[in-house]
């Protein structure tokens, strides 16, 4: 059958799936970096390591700068703002003392990057002259200013978060009223959908003095000791640890769909489906007006050829050719044909995790996490299911439909346990990894010819090499050098930089280190597998094609000697050549000009049935 086509137009670009191609949560994410500018933030801590750690304020500014640069590459539509508190100067729309809005909530740009770079290079004395330092700012006032920054934004926001950087563990010591006001304000922020994340710096920082009380337990937790279960990560004094923590907190995952997870009739919970792996591409080119560098917008209109009337989407139909006729469908009918099941996750049973083989992989999996906002109690039910699956090492087999128009998939939900690093910071979140399973027709029967098998000594030599060169792989350790070079060049043009730092290519094998670790084992493997005259650096010569006499051409069958009618009744009309089909149809007065073989076969079948 032919592909889907517009009636009288060119092929469509998958319009039936367009409604499910975008993120479920529309809008941009907004982040405010709230940085303490008190005197203590400009004092570098003396450590026994001897490594000259810079002041906490400059580390916080560098983290904001790195996030700004990363957003330009990964999510250039997201919004960021930088707010200082405990400054002498005041700059905010509600005139709260000692709170200074350094950068408004907007998209990352070259001007914002250069401003932060100047601030990073600024020492304490120069900062004191321009902004001043103070310790009288109220944390409640700083949080209210951040909320005002969000409220002024006219864009649709899918997530709002405040990243608070400080090294002062008890900012309102002796002032219980300010402490109560800060706790109350944090509760107001949570009700408004604004998440407060605390990034505390300094090894001597004690979270129990004040900031632990700012962590509001989830409403679904009805235990009296729920507050005791929540703990902050250990404080850090190193920039790399701080930057990794900022990256995790700032990288807000968007769901590709929110669906109901049906465990049994009447037993349902709501979960969010997240994309676990996504390919990173270079940004697409944009047309600009050469005089003003403004982005060009174009409109496409299509007209009916007979009347010149403008066509709207409802005027289009799609068709498939069947039996020489165009079977037409409206766009709504096409979409309804693709919807076999409504979006949901339906539990079918359980299987041991060991029964889910690696070769079952057909496409990247999804991450499943509970959605408490849609159905209350989803977190508890999800946690109970996850705990039992981990304890019994079982995988849930489900029917998975992530959104409208998406294809139906069988999936195995592999339980994933929460992991924390040595700083008590989350590395792996708890949840399920949905591994899509193949259908029966996805398997192929491959005929493997008998080949020469390796000897036990060769196998042992290969195992020794693999054991010596084995390392724990992590995707975070390898950047795409092509994309990194592309963005480095754009960065140099945008920031007027003449010097470009070289981009390290970690995909190139380190032969020197490999030789140092496994040189003896590699040589032993080479001696056992390859002949003594083998040279790995010698170019491979192409094997000459074998000389053989050409096969004699097969004589074409005589059209008159073939019983076309008998073959058609036996269902073998498609085995005939087009010349035989045309000759047989022309004898019966059927037009054959301009027809394809499928149409000729259908005409033959029609003649035989008559």
pLDDT, tens only, 4-47: 333 333 333 333 333 333 334 457 888 899 999 988 888 875 44
Note the pLDDT of residue 226.
46
Query: Rounded distance, CA 41 to CA 131, Å?
Result: 14
- Domain range for 569 is 559-609
pLDDT for 513 beyond 70 = yes
Contact of 61 with 120, CB cutoff 8 Å: yes
3-state SS of 31-61 is EEEEEECCHHHHCCCCCCCCCCCCCHHHHHH
| DSSP structural state of residue 303 | B
Buried b (16+ CB within 10 A) or exposed e, 139-178: bbbbbbbbbbbbeebeeebbbbbbbbbbbbbebbeeeeeb
Note the pLDDT of residue 270.
93
Buried b (16+ CB within 10 A) or exposed e, 387-402: eebeeeebbbbbebbb
Query: Rounded distance, CA 365 to CA 362, Å?
Result: 9
Determine the average pLDDT of the residues in 586-597.
81
Angle at 402 (CA atoms; ends 397, 408), nearest 5 degrees: 60
3-state SS of 392-415 is HCEEEEEEEECCCCCCCEEEEEEE
Torsion of CA 169, 174, 176, 181, to 10 degrees: -50
Query: Rounded distance, CA 258 to CA 344, Å?
Result: 9
Contact of 157 with 194, CB cutoff 8 Å: no
Query: Rounded distance, CA 108 to CA 124, Å?
Result: 26
- Are 67 and 114 contained in the same domain? yes
Domain-located, residue 184: yes
User: What are 399-457's pLDDT values in tens digits?
Assistant: 999 888 788 889 999 999 988 877 777 778 899 999 999 998 888 888 877 778 889 99
pLDDT for 602 beyond 90 = no
| DSSP structural state of residue 25 | S
Domain with 414 in it: what CATH number? 2.40.290.10
| DSSP H or E segment with residue 603 | helix 597-609
pLDDT for 548 beyond 70 = no
- Are 461 and 491 contained in the same domain? yes
Higher pLDDT, 214 or 85: 85
Contact of 145 with 94, CB cutoff 8 Å: yes
Domain-located, residue 57: yes
Six token digits for residue 396? 């849930």
pLDDT for 228 beyond 60 = no
User: Which of 139-143, 310-314, 451-455, 560-564 has the least mean pLDDT?
Assistant: 560-564
pLDDT for 355 beyond 90 = yes
Domain-located, residue 234: yes
Contact of 422 with 235, CB cutoff 8 Å: no
User: Which of 9-18, 263-272, 479-488, 544-553 has the least mean pLDDT?
Assistant: 9-18
User: What are 288-333's pLDDT values in tens digits?
Assistant: 988 888 888 888 888 887 788 888 878 888 888 888 888 988 888 8
Contact of 210 with 169, CB cutoff 8 Å: yes
Note the pLDDT of residue 171.
86
Domain-located, residue 408: yes
Residue 221, classed as helix, strand or coil, is: coil
Query: Rounded distance, CA 559 to CA 553, Å?
Result: 18
Residue 65's nearest CA partner among 239, 285, 203, 226 is 239
- What is the domain count for the chain? 4
Contact of 96 with 65, CB cutoff 8 Å: no
Contact of 377 with 220, CB cutoff 8 Å: yes
Please list, in sequence order, all residues whose beta carbon lies within 8 angstroms of the beta carbon of residue 328, skipping any fewer than 6 positions away.
Answer: 7, 317, 318, 319
Determine the average pLDDT of the residues in 61-65.
88
Determine the average pLDDT of the residues in 271-297.
86
Name the domain boundary from 235, 252, 269.
Answer: 252
Note the pLDDT of residue 227.
43
Q: What residue spans of 153-293 are helical by DSSP H?
A: 176-191, 226-229, 239-250
Query: Rounded distance, CA 335 to CA 404, Å?
Result: 9
Domain-located, residue 148: yes
User: What are 153-206's pLDDT values in tens digits?
Assistant: 888 888 888 989 888 888 888 888 888 899 899 889 988 888 888 888 877 788
- Are 45 and 120 contained in the same domain? yes
| DSSP H or E segment with residue 273 | strand 267-275
Q: Average per-residue pLDDT in the chain?
A: 81
Other beta carbons within 10 angstroms of residue 24's beta carbon come to 17
Residue 604's nearest CA partner among 82, 582, 593, 430 is 582
Query: Rounded distance, CA 30 to CA 78, Å?
Result: 6
- Are 356 and 466 contained in the same domain? no
| DSSP structural state of residue 315 | G
Query: Rounded distance, CA 402 to CA 19, Å?
Result: 12
Domain-located, residue 366: yes
pTM of the entire predicted model: 0.67
Query: Rounded distance, CA 37 to CA 131, Å?
Result: 9
| DSSP structural state of residue 512 | H
Place 556 in a pLDDT band, splitting at 50, 70 and 90: low
- Are 428 and 488 contained in the same domain? no
Residue written as token pair 């020794």: 464
- Are 605 and 511 contained in the same domain? no
Determine the average pLDDT of the residues in 240-269.
79
Contact of 173 with 32, CB cutoff 8 Å: no
Contact of 331 with 16, CB cutoff 8 Å: yes
- Are 273 and 213 contained in the same domain? no
- Are 81 and 177 contained in the same domain? yes
Determine the average pLDDT of the residues in 576-584.
84
Domain with 485 in it: what CATH number? 1.10.1600.10
Residue 478's nearest CA partner among 507, 498, 508, 442 is 507
Determine the average pLDDT of the residues in 530-544.
71
Query: Rounded distance, CA 587 to CA 589, Å?
Result: 6
Domain-located, residue 437: yes
Residue 218's nearest CA partner among 30, 24, 370 is 370
User: What are 462-483's pLDDT values in tens digits?
Assistant: 999 999 999 888 877 888 888 8
Place 216 in a pLDDT band, splitting at 50, 70 and 90: low
Place 77 in a pLDDT band, splitting at 50, 70 and 90: confident
Domain-located, residue 113: yes
Determine the average pLDDT of the residues in 540-555.
60
- Are 46 and 155 contained in the same domain? yes
- Are 470 and 575 contained in the same domain? no
- Are 271 and 192 contained in the same domain? no
Query: Rounded distance, CA 346 to CA 353, Å?
Result: 19
Domain with 125 in it: what CATH number? 3.40.50.410
- Are 517 and 599 contained in the same domain? no
Angle at 22 (CA atoms; ends 18, 28), nearest 5 degrees: 150
Secondary structure percentages of the chain, helix, strand, coil, to 5: 35, 20, 45
Distances (CA, A) of 434 to 12, 397, 401: 31, 9, 11
pLDDT for 271 beyond 50 = yes
Contact of 214 with 197, CB cutoff 8 Å: no
Residue 394's nearest CA partner among 371, 413, 411, 418 is 413
Longest dimension (CA), the chain: 109
Note the pLDDT of residue 345.
93
Note the pLDDT of residue 397.
95
Percent of the chain at pLDDT > 70 equals 85
Note the pLDDT of residue 368.
93
Query: Rounded distance, CA 546 to CA 114, Å?
Result: 67
């Amino acid at each position: 059958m032919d592909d889907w086509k517009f009636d009288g137009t060119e092929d469509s670009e998958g319009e039936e799936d367009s409604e499910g191609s975008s993120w479920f949560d529309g809008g941009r994410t907004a982040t405010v970096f709230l940085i303490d500018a008190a005197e203590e933030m400009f004092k570098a801590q003396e450590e026994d390591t001897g490594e000259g750690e810079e002041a906490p304020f400059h580390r916080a500014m560098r983290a904001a700068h790195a996030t700004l640069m990363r957003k330009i590459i990964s999510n250039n539509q997201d919004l960021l703002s930088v707010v200082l508190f405990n400054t002498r100067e005041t700059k905010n729309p509600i005139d709260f003392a000692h709170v200074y809005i350094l950068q408004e909530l907007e998209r990352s740009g070259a001007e914002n990057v250069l401003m932060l770079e100047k601030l990073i290079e600024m020492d304490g004395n120069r900062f004191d002259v321009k902004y001043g330092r103070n310790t009288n700012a109220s944390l409640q006032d700083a949080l209210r200013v951040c909320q005002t920054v969000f409220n002024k934004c006219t864009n649709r926001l899918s997530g709002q978060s405040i990243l608070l950087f400080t090294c002062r563990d008890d900012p309102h010591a002796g002032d219980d009223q300010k402490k109560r006001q800060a706790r109350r304000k944090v509760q107001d922020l949570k009700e408004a959908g604004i998440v407060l994340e605390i990034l505390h710096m300094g090894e001597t920082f004690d979270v129990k003095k004040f900031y632990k009380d700012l962590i509001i337990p989830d409403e679904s937790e009805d235990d009296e000791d729920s507050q005791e279960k929540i703990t902050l990560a250990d404080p850090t004094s190193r920039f790399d640890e701080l930057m990794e923590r900022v990256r995790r907190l700032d990288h807000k995952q968007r769901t590709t769909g929110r669906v109901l997870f049906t465990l049994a009739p009447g037993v349902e919970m709501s979960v969010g489906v997240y994309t676990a792996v996504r390919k990173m591409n270079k940004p697409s080119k944009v047309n600009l007006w050469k005089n003003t560098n403004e982005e060009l917008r174009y409109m496409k209109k299509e007209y009916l050829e007979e009347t010149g009337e403008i066509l709207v989407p409802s005027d289009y139909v799609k068709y498939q050719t069947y039996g020489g006729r165009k079977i037409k469908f409206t766009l709504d009918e096409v979409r309804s044909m693709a919807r076999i099941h409504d979006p949901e996750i339906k539990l079918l049973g359980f299987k041991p995790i060991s029964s889910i083989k690696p070769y079952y992989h057909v496409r990247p999996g999804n991450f499943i996490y509970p959605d408490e906002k849609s159905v209350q109690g989803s977190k508890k039910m999800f946690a109970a299911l996850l705990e039992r699956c981990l304890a019994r090492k079982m995988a849930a087999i489900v029917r998975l439909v992530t959104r409208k128009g998406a294809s139906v998939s069988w999936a195995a939900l592999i339980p994933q346990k929460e992991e924390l690093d040595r700083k008590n910071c989350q590395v792996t979140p708890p949840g399920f990894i949905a591994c899509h399973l193949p259908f029966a027709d996805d398997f192929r029967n491959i005929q493997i010819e008998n080949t020469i098998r390796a000897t036990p000594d060769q196998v042992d030599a290969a195992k020794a090499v693999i054991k010596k060169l084995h390392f724990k792989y992590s995707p975070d350790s390898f950047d795409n050098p092509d994309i990194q070079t592309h963005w480095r060049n754009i960065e140099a043009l945008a920031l007027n930089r003449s010097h470009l730092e070289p981009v390290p290519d970690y995909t190139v094998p380190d032969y020197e280190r490999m030789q140092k670790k496994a040189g003896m084992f590699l040589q032993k493997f080479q001696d056992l597998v390859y002949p003594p005259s083998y040279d790995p650096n010698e170019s491979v010569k192409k094997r000459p094609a074998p000389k053989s006499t050409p096969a004699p051409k097969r004589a074409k069958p005589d059209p008159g000697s073939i019983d076309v009618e008998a073959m058609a009744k036996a269902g073998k009309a498609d085995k005939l050549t087009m010349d035989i089909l045309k000759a047989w149809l022309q004898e019966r007065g059927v037009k054959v000009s301009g027809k394809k073989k499928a149409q000729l076969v259908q005409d033959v079948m029609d003649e035989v049935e008559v």
